[in-house]
Amino acid sequence: MRALAIVLAASALVAGGSALSAKPKLTPQQRLEKLLEGRVAGKPTTCISTSDTRDMEIIDGVALVYRSGSTLYVNRPKNPEDLDSDDILVIRPSGSQLCRLDMIHTVDRVGHFTTGFINLGDFVPYRRAKQTER
């Protein structure tokens, strides 16, 4: 019985210790800042090519981030509060580019009903800052 109590006490200490060492959860704005660390914003553009864009990440309530090679394009929609990574984005570009006037509608992942619309803004390219030699 005493051995069982010791094992339970030790388990509680280990579990409590791992909870203390857990990383704090980043806010969506902090997640975006972390993605953009070491990068410099370029001149905003109204469209990006859909054929060159490989990945897209939703930063809840903040922005959409598109990867094209080593460049990240950040789009802060006019209604960022409607961005939710639990939704599916249905994008119907008018050609081979995604542009700020294109509208995206969001669909519930489970029920497949429309939950809203996203009005895109300009796409701001972020490229890695050039290292200066010393």
Q: What is the pLDDT of residues 35-78, one digit of tens each?
A: 999 999 999 999 999 887 778 999 999 999 999 999 999 999 99
d(CA 99, CA 49): 9
SS3 for 40-87, per residue?
A: EECCCECEEECCCCCEEEEECCCEEEEEECCEEEEECCCCHHHCCCCE
100: number of Cβ within 10 Å:
17
**Which of 6-15, 90-99, 111-120 shows the highest mean pLDDT?**
111-120
Residue appearing with tokens 């200490």: 13
